[in-house]
């Protein structure tokens, strides 16, 4: 019988009596695959649209088999990184790190990066905040999820160049309102436990002069269906999503 391949890493499984004279090469490749999964590092360039990682059969150079993946590149639109849902052997289960090293442009909102398992709907894809490092679990037919945010990102919003910004879960946003007020729109369809941090980074004319408006984006803030405004200089607040009734609550505040 011909070789078969394992599910998660597509390691070649040789049948008894097959591959005479090739066992050494195949075994070495399989050991390299295990090393890649345990400690491998790769950089993947994003631009726009979806970039799908590789779990090719028997390949020790397939980028989706690495433990640590850093996404790089200057974005020209919203971008996604997809882990294949399956291999020749069946559903692929992968636990891996993703570090954001992209340069994000765009008029108004910055371009976004999301993580997914192939076939996952846009509404359930995992947002990767700018500059963040996430631990991700991709489970074949089950949508990819974030196991933890190892390093939170940091995003700067300057009123001189943009006056609105739509946050993603896990964002830490330094807002400069020296020129104009700025509106920060909270994530749409938030999940329980999602957090967004907003801080006044203005050298002058801070939040007391030009407010930072928090657009609730359809969810309540402290149980009320109204937007909020940060109006004190040097403010730093973290909002956490509790449930549909309460919506976003202030986890911490120095207002």
138 and 47 within one domain: yes
Of 106, 135, 152, which marks where a domain is finished?
Answer: 152
Of 152, 184, 216, which marks where a domain is finished?
Answer: 152
197 and 124 within one domain: no
Residues 123 and 189 sit within 8 Å (Cβ to Cβ): yes
137 and 25 within one domain: yes
Residue 197 in any domain: the answer is yes
pTM of the model: 0.80
Residue range(s) defining the domain that contains residue 241: 154-255
pLDDT tens digits, one per residue of 68-121:
999 999 999 999 999 999 988 888 999 999 999 999 876 556 789 999 999 898
- 24 token code pair: 């050494």
Residue 12 pLDDT level (bands cut at 50, 70, 90):
confident
Domain count, the chain: 2
> Which of 52, 110, 54 has the alpha carbon at shortest distance from 78?
110
pLDDT tens digits, one per residue of 55-68:
998 888 999 999 99
Residues 92 and 85 sit within 8 Å (Cβ to Cβ): yes
Residue 106's pLDDT is what?
62
118 and 94 within one domain: yes
Residue 14 in any domain: the answer is no
Of 152, 177, 203, which marks where a domain is finished?
Answer: 152
Average pLDDT over residues 38-58: 95
Of residues 239 and 15, which shows the higher confidence score?
A: 239
What's the residue count for the chain?
A: 255
148 and 32 within one domain: yes
The neighbouring-strand residues paired with 166 are 185
Phi, psi of 247, deg, nearest 5: 70, -130
Per DSSP, the three-state class of 197 is strand
For residue 191, what is the domain's CATH number? 2.60.120.640
The neighbouring-strand residues paired with 189 are none
212 and 175 within one domain: yes
Of residues 225 and 90, which shows the higher confidence score?
A: 225
210 and 110 within one domain: no
> Average pLDDT, whole number, for the chain?
89
The answer, yes or no, to whether residue 195 has pLDDT greater than 90, is: yes
160 and 143 within one domain: no
Share of the chain above pLDDT 70, in %: 96
pLDDT tens digits, one per residue of 119-131:
898 888 888 998 8
Residue 102's pLDDT is what?
93
């Amino acid at each position: 019988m011909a070789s078969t391949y394992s599910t998660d890493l597509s390691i070649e499984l040789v049948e008894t009596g097959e591959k005479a004279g090739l066992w050494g090469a195949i075994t070495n490749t399989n050991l390299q695959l295990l090393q890649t999964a345990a400690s491998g590092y790769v950089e993947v360039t994003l631009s726009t649209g979806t970039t799908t990682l590789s779990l090719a059969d028997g390949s020790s150079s397939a980028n989706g088999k690495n433990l640590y993946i850093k996404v790089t590149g200057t974005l020209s639109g919203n971008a996604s990184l997809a882990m294949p849902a399956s291999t020749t052997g069946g559903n692929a289960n992968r636990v891996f790190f993703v570090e954001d090293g992209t340069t994000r442009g765009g008029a108004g909102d910055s371009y976004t990066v999301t993580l997914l398992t192939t076939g996952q709907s846009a509404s359930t894809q995992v947002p990767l905040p700018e500059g963040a490092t996430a631990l991700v679990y991709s489970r074949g037919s089950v949508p990819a999820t974030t196991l933890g945010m190892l390093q939170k990102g940091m995003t700067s919003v300057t009123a001189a160049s943009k006056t609105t910004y739509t946050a993603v879960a896990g964002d830490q946003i330094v807002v400069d309102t020296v020129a104009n007020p700025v509106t920060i729109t909270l994530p749409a369809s938030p999940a329980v436990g999602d957090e967004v941090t907003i801080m006044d980074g203005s050298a002058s004319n801070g939040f007391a002069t030009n407010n930072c408006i928090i657009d609730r984006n359809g969810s309540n803030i402290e149980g009320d269906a109204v937007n909020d405004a940060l109006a004190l200089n040097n403010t730093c607040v973290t909002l956490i999503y509790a449930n549909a009734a309460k919506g976003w609550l202030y986890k911490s505040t120095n207002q």
